[in-house]
Amino acid sequence: MKSQGIGFGKAILFNEHFVVYGIPSIVSAIGKYTVAKIEPCDQPKLILEDNRDATPNYKEEKIDQQNDSINRILKKMGIDISKNGIKITLNGNLYVASGIGASAASCVAIGRALSNYYNLNLSDDEINDISYEGEKGYHGTPSGVDNTASTYGGLIWFQKGENNIIEKIPISNPIEIVIGNTGKVANTAAAVAGVRERKEKNPEKYKEIFDRTENIAYLAKRALREGDYKEVGKLMNENHKLLQQIEVSSRELDFLVNVAREHGALGSKLTGGGLGGNIIALTPGKELQEKVTNAIEKEGFQTIKTVIGASWGGIE
């Protein structure tokens, strides 16, 4: 008996970090995914085989967080492997790096695979809750935005609260983007803690920044619905500036953001926890996507060409 599950990578278009404080965020699943396969194991324990391609040292640095995450998922699902062990194998075409929802994709994939393996028939809403619990192993206090995109796919408006507000944003066609990888593994939990500390020290400065990010989210939602991608790009650029102001960007991220803009991207910003990881560039049309991809790769950095706004992450 063998079962598998799938979880999508993600790109945050607007308001990573700010989303933790109840500011709306816009996120999309991307067309890259992680697959988890589960099979019986003849020992009363869990064996994990992680075959995902990854940024050097990413998997090694995250191993303790990964183990914590899987234990949380098993506990949340009420699964006891002390008598009948299982083997989990991770594969898929999502290149594992900071900022593209790699941990959420694996949590969703594992949750779905366990649901299939044990015939639990869990709904997407239940998988999302389980994945959120798994994300705590990686992020301490996750916003919930990554696992939501990974579970449901598509382009999503997400606002954290007592009851999270989750809305699909309808767009006419998926939009091409480029993701550029700094090659630097980031510690999201440390980045989130740093923002909290600085916010407590400078409440007035941070209030001004947070108010503007909220405004940006509403303007961006309207621009996406109307297909005004130039406006979306401008707002992404402004969002990056605000992320710089709360000190979660880095020299490498700023460099890649500038390369993308100089080669025609309508907008570009860091995506995810920052302090390393990835940038996202808005490049509607295959031609522009190719041009920006080539420019980033010429500088010696890895890229992912994909789309946002496709239902179920637009499997390629």
- Residue numbers annotated as active site: 146
Query: Torsions phi, psi of 46, nearest 5?
Result: -100, 130
Beta-bridge partners for 46? 86
- State which amino acid sits at residue 132: Y
Helix axes 102-117, 145-152, angle to 10 degrees: 50
Residues contacting residue 95 through CB under 8 Å, at least 6 positions apart? 32, 52, 53, 54, 55, 181, 302, 304
Nearest to 18 by CA among 258, 250, 275, 214: 214
Residue in the structure block whose two tokens are 């989210």 = 217
The span from the CA of 64 to the CA of 71, in Å, is 11
Q: Alpha carbon of 177 to those of 41, 44, 59, 113, 278: distances in Å?
A: 41, 44, 26, 29, 12
| Nearby residues of 4 by Cβ (< 8 Å), 6 or more positions away | 35, 36, 37, 38, 109, 112, 113, 116
Is residue 36 within 8 Å of residue 106, measured between CB atoms?
yes
> Phi, psi at residue 283, to the nearest 5°?
-135, 70
Integer angstrom CA distances of residue 250 from 122, 166, 184, 186, 274: 40, 30, 10, 11, 7
